[in-house]
Amino acid sequence: MNTTSNDNWKKYIWLWIPHTALIVYAKIIIFYVIILLFKNVERSLEQLSWFGLMTVLPSMFYLPFFMRIVDGLPVKKVFQGILLLQFPIFTYLCYTLNQDDPSLIIIFILIALDIALINAESVIFDKSITLLLPKLDYPKAIVISRLANNISFFFSPLLATFFFQNFGLLSLWIIGLLIVLAYFYQLKILSSKNKVEFEKKQKETNISFFKKNKPRQNLLLIELLFFYAISFLWTNAATLIAFPFFIHSESVKTSGLLITISGLGVVINNIYVYFKNKKTDLLFWGRLSGFISGFMFLFLGLINPNFLFYFIIMFLGGFFCSWCYNLAQITTQRLISFNAQGAFFTLRATLNVIITTIFYLLTGYFIKLIFLPFLNQILSLFSISNLPINNFVAIATIFVICGVLIILGLLVLILINFRKYNKHQ
């Protein structure tokens, strides 16, 4: 590794540290709010879905607009704008939560704005990988970038509980201030001296593979988005509906352990991708990982409750869904031009928001109110009645549906690709 490459890696790592801290901090705030507002179990089952929906839906409407403008904006200025908006949101949120009777509407609006800004920040950070590093370093950079989300998913609930039990909101606010200041300081990495490098990147990538063959471009983009969707499906399943599913047959502690095992699979896959030989058939392994992830969904919904089977399924599901994401991200960074990556990553974020919204709809309150009656109606069409349909059966059905959709979706994409390839030949 030459001196320039070493310098670029140092820049990237120093930018990654506050990026990770900001994402973890934002998730801590969200879980802190959930703990504070939904300590009552009866209340949480009824209102958690509404809380989730109200906080993610604004991103669904804002991200398409952001997709249209993001690639025309300087990377550094977008970072600065996000941070300048993020800190007052954290400040006002901490102030509101500290009131004797905090306004739920204000809290939901602030959380929604926070999530929207975090989505935008993640898009810009992924785009900065292409700006700072050469193509050969993309896989390692993507794995490190992915660690930020892994850490936030699996450690934020623990940290939020720790702060809730041991510290006040003032301590949380001070930490937020320090993170924002540190991030602002590190943005000097993207100073004007990078302008020549930025322009060079644009010239190198404007003439891309995609512009040579439009139909194949569209097919590949759809397949990459499908790989992302598989990863988002598993992540949402593991974090939103797996716990009430496992609690049917396992203890609270064991259910939490099984979700953590899925996170371990994600981390091990990241380590594997980091050290793996760079010469890989990305599309083949992406499809294989997708099929295995689909079968993990099927097995999770169909097998009888068994801790050992659950353990294996959660680990393999975490491992292969992470591989779907990593392979899609590596392909994206290598093939999509720099001045179009922001739009594609925003489309990816929109897909994540849509899938998260669907899973919020299928948690506690909505499973009882909508999905269970719907499932009973379907069964009645086949003259099946008096079947004990509960949350466990409903969630198992959701897992099976996810598995079937993934497998059928991949088969359709492979068939279309095969026909297009033969036609091209």
Q: Which among 327, 229, 329, 321 is positioned nearest to 282, based on CA atoms?
A: 327
Domains of the chain: which residue ranges?
A: 1-200, 208-424
Residue 297 has pLDDT above 90, yes or no: yes
- The answer on pLDDT for 18 being more than 80 is yes
Q: What superfamily in CATH does domain 1-200 come from?
A: MFS general substrate transporter like domains (1.20.1250.20)
Structurally, what CATH architecture does the domain formed by 208-424 represent? Up-down Bundle (1.20)
What is the tens place of the pLDDT at every residue in 306-362? Answer: 889 999 999 999 999 988 988 888 887 777 776 677 777 778 888 888 888 887 777
Same CATH topology for 1-200 and 208-424: the answer is yes
pLDDT value at residue 364: 57
> Are residues 199 and 67 in contact, defined by beta-carbon separation less than 8 angstroms?
no
The structure's pTM equals 0.70
* pLDDT 10s digits, 199-216: 444 444 333 434 444 556
CA–CA dist 179, 161 (Å, integer): 20
53: CB partners within 8 A, 6+ apart: 357, 360, 361
Q: What is the pLDDT of residues 240-279, one digit of tens each?
A: 677 777 877 777 677 777 877 888 888 888 888 777 755 5
Neighbours of 423 (CB within 10 A): 8
* pLDDT of amino acid 196: 43
pLDDT tens-digit readout, 75-114: 788 888 888 888 888 888 888 888 877 777 888 888 888 8
